[in-house]
Chains A and B, each alone.
Chain A
Amino acid sequence: MKSPLSSARQIAEPIIWFAGLLLIWEFLVRWFEVPSFILPAPSAFLSQLVIDHERLARHGLITTKLILYGFVAGAIPGIILAYLIARFRLADQILYPIVVFIQGMPKITLAPLLLVWFGFADFPKILLTALITFFPVLVDSATGFRAIDKRQYYLSRSMGASWWQTFTKFELPSAAPYIFSGFRITAVVAVTVVIVVEWLNSQSGLGYLVLRAMDSSNTPLLFAILMVASMIGVVLSGLVTLVERLLLPWRSV
Chain B
Amino acid sequence: MTENASPNSALSSGQTSHAGASIVATNMTKVYGSGDAAFHALGPIDLDIKPGEFVSLIGPSGCGKSTTLLMASGLEPCTTGTIKVDGKALTKPLSEVGIVFQDHLLLDFRTAMNNVMLQQEIRGLDKAQTRARADMLFDRLGLSHAKDRYPRQLSGGMRQRVSIARALVHDPSMLLMDEPFGALDAITRTQIRHDLEMLWLETRKTVLFITHSIEEAVGLSDRVLVMSNNPGRIVEEIKIDLPRPRPAHLGEYPEFSAYAERIYKIFAKLGVYKF
Contact = CB atoms under 8 A, between A and B. Distances in A.
A37 B107 CA distance: 58
Contacts of A169: 107, 118, 121-122
Secondary structure of the B contact surface, majority rule: loop
A157 B93 CA distance: 7
Contact of A158 (B75, B110, B152): B75
Interface residues of B, number: 26
B95 A159 contact: yes
Interface in A10-52: none
B121 to A, nearest CB: 7
A159 B95 CA distance: 6
B161 to A, nearest CB: 16
A250 B220 CA distance: 36
Interface in A169-188: 169-170, 173-174, 176
Interface string B177-201: 0000000000000000000000000
B105 A149 contact: yes
B79 interface: no
A173 B153 contact: no
B105 A159 contact: no
Contact of B109 (A151, A158, A174): A174
B263 to A, nearest CB: 27
B150 A250 contact: yes
Interface stretch (B36-44, B96-104, B133-141): B96-104
Secondary structure of the A contact surface, majority rule: helix
Contacts of A248: 109
B101 A151 contact: yes
Contacts of B98: 158
B48 interface: no
Contact of A154 (B75, B109, B121): B75
Given A151-B105, A173-B109, A250-B108, A158 B121 contact: no
A156 interface: yes
Given A173-B107, A253-B152, A159 B75 contact: no
A250 B73 CA distance: 33
Interface string B106-119: 01111100000011
Interface in A89-145: none
Contact of A250 (B76, B103, B105, B152): B152
Most buried by B among A149, A159, A160, A253: A159
A154 B99 CA distance: 9
A159 B109 contact: no
B208 to A, nearest CB: 13
Interface string B65-83: 0000010010110000000
A253 B153 contact: yes
Contact of B119 (A159, A174, A250): A159
B123 interface: yes
A157 B70 CA distance: 11
A155 B99 contact: yes
Contacts of B99: 154-155, 158
A149 B99 CA distance: 14
B95 A170 contact: no
A159 B70 contact: no
Contacts of B101: 151, 154
A250 B153 CA distance: 10
B94 interface: yes
Interface in A206-220: none
Given A160-B123, A169-B118, A253-B153, A154 B70 contact: yes
Interface string A183-214: 00000000000000000000000000000000
A131 to B, nearest CB: 30
Nearest to A153: B75
A161 interface: yes
A165 B95 CA distance: 15
Contacts of B108: 174, 250
A160 B122 contact: yes
Contacts of A157: 75, 93
Given A169-B118, A169-B121, A158 B105 contact: no
Given A154-B70, A170-B107, 20 more contacts: A149-B105, A151-B105, A154-B76, A154-B99, A157-B75, A158-B75, A158-B95, A158-B97, A159-B118, A159-B123, A160-B93, A160-B95, A160-B122, A165-B121, A169-B121, A173-B107, A173-B109, A174-B107, A250-B110, A253-B153
Interface of A: 149, 151-152, 154-161, 165, 169-170, 173-174, 176, 248, 250, 253
Q: Which 10 A-B pairs have the closest CB atoms?
A: A159-B122, A250-B150, A160-B95, A173-B109, A161-B122, A157-B93, A154-B75, A250-B109, A158-B97, A151-B101
